[in-house]
Amino acid sequence: MSTSLSTSITPKHTYLDRDLSLLAFNQRVLAWAKREDVPLVERLRYLCIASSNLDELFEVRAFLHLEAYQTQDTKGSYSVNSFEALHKRAHALVAEQYDLFNNALTVSFAKEGISIVAHGERDAAQRRWVQKYFEEEVRPLLVPVLLDPAHPFPQVASKSLNFIVQLGGVDAFDRKNTIAIVKVPRVLPRVIALPAKLCGKKQLFISLSSVVRAHLSDLFPGRAVGQFSQFRVTRHTDMAIDEDDVKNLRMALRQGLQHRHYGQPTRIEVSASCSAELSAMLLKQFDLPEIALYRVPGPVNLVRFAQLADLVEKPSLHFAPYTPSYPASMQQQVRGLSIFDRLKQGDAMLHQPYESFDAVVDFLREAVYDPKVLAIRQTIYRAGADSVMMDLLVEAVRRGKEVLAVVELKARFDEEANINWAERLEAIGAQVVYGVVGLKTHAKMLLVTRKEGKQLRRYGHLSTGNYNPRTARLYTDISYFTQDAHLTEDMEQLFVHLASQNHVPKMKKLWIAPFQLHREMIAHIDALAAKAAKGKSTRLIAKMNSLTDEPIMDALVRAGQAGVKIDLIVRGACMLPAQVAGQTDNIRVRSIIGRFLEHSRVFYFRSGEDEELYLSSADWMNRNMLRRIELAWPVTDPVLRQRIVEECLSAYLYDKVDAWDMQPDGSYTAMHDPATGHSAQQALMQRYQKKT
């Protein structure tokens, strides 16, 4: 099995297209929905994830291609060609998604006695129930709009469900206006379970779109309903705020959120049966070319069918529950001993989600309730709307601790939650800052200052992931606890910088973006290249989410050509082609798609017997290196370093179940041999599963 980017590699090394690489990643996610060794409900979830990823691409990335198309740019990175290539690949992916949904997943669900019942398949009793549901739950929320000069085309929100309807006859004023729009509110569930008494021994569902479709005529009494189609518009939703020109970033973002769902249209989805007349009208209304129209043989929003996965009651169709163990290195905390005393013995780590994120929460909780703790400082990027850690920070303020929260207001799609937390913390007296103008604060760190005798001692937590207990059960990340005086002093200086914007002093151990992180990464790669050129044995292994930074890719090409053996484990977009003869022969690229989302960033450099390992909040992307506050820190404890190498790097390089290897043309080939192969994630789950 392989997925190709259809990108030619020229003799002079050429990097792959970033957005086509993102679509190739999405194809790898979709492959999980096809795997028969994956439980059926989880296959549906992967289909929904693939659909959601595609939505995000059209919300965030597609606008640049569209803008180039509209201006007929043929030379830039974004051009007419890139626009057409993006949509060509996206159309193929969408066709694959619906083929899987209609001809594989729904068929398999039906064999399990689980079905989505279309209007034509409902018996009389089911139709009566649907009619009642429509009248009581749906119709009161629908306001059809008949288009005329006084009723222009209504604003429709990004990704919302709508219907366009062609009507016969005349309206109440004897006019032959023929087009109406029906907006379906988002508050309504997209999948509805039929009562058990109407299902026999099966579990039956109906889709909201079929409920509305079956009762369109009820919305237009006295008019004949002719051609109609459901439709969905995806819009550009990335908010552009001129931070240099606003007095209050929080207020500007809150106002911007009100308009986010009504940005520039980038894609239209309609029913496969939508008439040429109606689709042409929609394209004209939203000022999009024909290629941006997607005719789909099913519901226009597969993402919302994740609701069906939540409603299916058969445990055998779900992943077996996984309960992570509490980190062995933190067991003193479980036995009631102080976590601070534990850290005096040396650094500790947990590998989530295999080990429980509860240890991080416990670290903060102990700091909040310990009378010796004077100050707590934390960065907040994606904490979530309902967060026990944010509640603990609130409690810390109430208990008189000095709390500094560096809240990143521009964390995409988490802006509102972060604004709410910032306002709540400010209201009770916490010191809240929003980082540095023009830069996102993506670094993940938590610093506790404790009075011990006559001394102040610091304890730190650094992470490759977010302070979000929910995603900590789904994403692979490394949480690192330390009482190292140099590391915690560096953390203190970075917090001071974020609050005061004073110059950053020379760091002892941390690498910080946008200051030295980019330079240090390239310098370390070049240092390996220099040693390899002298015949020394060298090795570089890097694990990240995306690789798109050209200066780093240039350095990797130089290092590979000098003889450095390079393995890159890149989950998502990777623009560096692997194993191209004469160019990147020594570079291998792997992508791991598994039950959990690979999210940890690990960078390993070895020359002879000398080795260095860094953990980081940053991917090797230009935005992370130059437009964000990021950090990387060394792991100097040899036991912890070896554990990270084994669990985060070596295990993935030998994976033959969930791995995809990049080919010289930029395509990916699945290394899927469940009979004899090794799955890194499965092995780690077995190692750290809580013993009951």
Which residues are identified as catalytic? 442
Separation of alpha carbons 408 and 635, rounded Å: 27
Q: Tell me which amino acid residue 461 is.
A: H
Strands 445-452, 455-463: pairing kind: antiparallel
| Continuous segment of H or E residues that includes residue 191 | strand 191-193
End-to-end CA distance of the chain: 39
Tokens of 408: 């990143």
11 upstream amide cis, omega within 30 of 0: no
For the chain, the maximum distance between any two Cα atoms, rounded to a whole number of angstroms, is: 89
CA 516 to CA 532: how far, in whole Å?
A: 24
CA 182 to chain centre: 31
**DSSP codes joined into one string, 31-48:** HHHH-TTS-HHHHHHHHH
Q: DSSP per residue over 500-551, as a string? A: H-PPPPPPSS-EEETTTHHHHHHHHHHHHHHHHHTT--EEEEEEES-B--HH
Q: Which of 463, 514, 508 is nearest to 488 (CA)?
A: 508
Residue 512 to residue 494: CA distance in whole angstroms: 9
Copy the structure tokens of residue 588.
Answer: 């291998």
CB contact at 8 A, 670 and 606: no
In the chain, helix, strand, coil percent, each to 5? Answer: 40, 25, 35
Tell me the two tokens of residue 221: 């009494």
Among the listed residues 293, 301, 33, 30, the one whose alpha carbon sits nearest the alpha carbon of residue 161: 301
Here the tokens at position 492 are: 């203190």
For residues 422 and 410, is the Cβ–Cβ distance under 8 A? no
Lookup result for tokens 């509209």: 70
- Name the phi and psi angles at 506, rounded to 5: -65, 125
635 neighbors 644 (Cβ within 8 angstroms): yes
Backbone angles phi, psi at 77, to 5 degrees: -60, -35
Q: Are strands 431-433 and 402-407 parallel, antiparallel or unpaired?
A: parallel
Contact 340, 355 (CB under 8 A): no
Reading the block at residue 297, the tokens are 């043989």
Q: Which residues pair with 479 in a beta bridge?
A: 350, 463
Which backbone phi and psi does 201 adopt, to 5 degrees? Answer: -95, 10
Cα–chain center distance at 536: 40
